[in-house]
Copies of this chain bind each other. A is one copy, B any other.
Amino acid sequence: MRDIAARLGVSAMTVSRAIRGDDGISEDTRQRVLAAVAEAGYRPNDLARRLRSGEPDELAGLIVTGLANPFYAQLAVGVEDVATARGTGLVVASSNGDPGRERELVRSMAARHLAGLVVVPAGNDHRHLTGLPVVLAATPPRGIDADCVLVDDFGGTYEACRTLIGRGHERIGFLGLPPALWTGSERYRGYAAALEDAGLTLDERWVRRHRGDVRAAEKAARELLARPDAPTALITANNRNTIGALRAARDHPVALAGFDDIEVADLLQLPLSVVAYDAAEVGRAAARLLFERSGTRQRVVVPTRIVDHP
């Protein structure tokens, strides 16, 4: 900057003003400065600018359990949309479901003085989510006071289960996440409530609750469906479990209803109902809460709807 100023015989301030589009500078001078800037290929240093002006970093963070899951990719798209609209960049990181790693990521983001953080937490204790504004997604806060965006886990699963019941199924199994996880617990609760309200029995032998990938899900589904008293229908409580169950269903016919939509669900020649919702909207809502930070604590619930792919 000083170089440019010297070369033009003006002060650094003038260059600064021209670059920032500050007024109080003649149009003529501005043009001359901008020309010199372009010619020199000079780029102002954001670090120094922020250090001096005290502006917060125009960078927010997003921590998800795994970007490979299409749900989180969509969520990231939503967060990015809102951030971009504000001129804010987005640092994305995956915890891989490891609370220790999540803790480490939060620490480094806080040290970087990011403007704020959207987190899909890996664990249940959120007391380490400090040092910067935080909005939780998919899980309500525990141990901290923070805004959050939830999906209607209970209601969605309840409706999915009712769909199966409405089709005459009485032996309905459940393939989901561990009970310690909020989504695992809430979706199981929706399943259990739907059974109870229909006067059906919840048979624990038809339940598998694990934390795993598609292969683990397929294995669990196969075990369930190979039983002599196999259920005639399954609730699969997230997209990994749904895909695993779909693979198992090639050999063991079974009706399926799953949480999370699947892009090509309509192309599968298998009966599948899904609990669909706008994953990007979860991200957008979270980002809005982060940036708008009203005084009162907020909890947004994104609605779900049943989509049948008969």
Interface residues of A (CB under 8 A from B): 41, 43-48, 50-51, 57, 59, 66-68, 70, 73-74, 76-77, 80, 84, 89-94, 107-113, 130-131, 243, 246-247, 250, 262-264, 266-270, 280
Q: In the complex, what residues of B have CB within 8 A of residue A93's CB?
A: 80, 84, 89-90
Q: Are A92 and B90 in contact (CB under 8 A)?
A: yes
A18 to chain B, nearest CB (A): 16
Inter-chain pairs besides A43-B110, A268-B268, 15 sampled, C-beta below 8 Å: A43-B113, A43-B131, A47-B51, A66-B77, A67-B77, A68-B73, A70-B70, A73-B73, A91-B91, A243-B264, A243-B267, A246-B264, A247-B266, A264-B264, A264-B268
The smallest beta-carbon distance between A245 and chain B, in angstroms, is 11
Contacts of A92 in B (CB 8 A): 76, 80, 90-92
Chain B residues lying within 8 Å of A48, measured Cβ to Cβ, are 51
What's the Cα separation between A77 and B93 when bound, in Å?
Answer: 9
Q: Would B67 and A80 count as touching, CB distance under 8 A?
A: yes
Query: Contact between A47 and B264 (Cβ–Cβ < 8 Å)?
Result: no
Residues A68 and B77 in contact, CB atoms below 8 Å apart:
yes
Minimum Cβ distance to chain B for residue A128 (Å): 12
Q: Which residues of B contact A263 (CB under 8 A)?
A: 243
Asked if A91 and B59 make an inter-chain contact with CB atoms under 8 angstroms apart, the answer reads yes
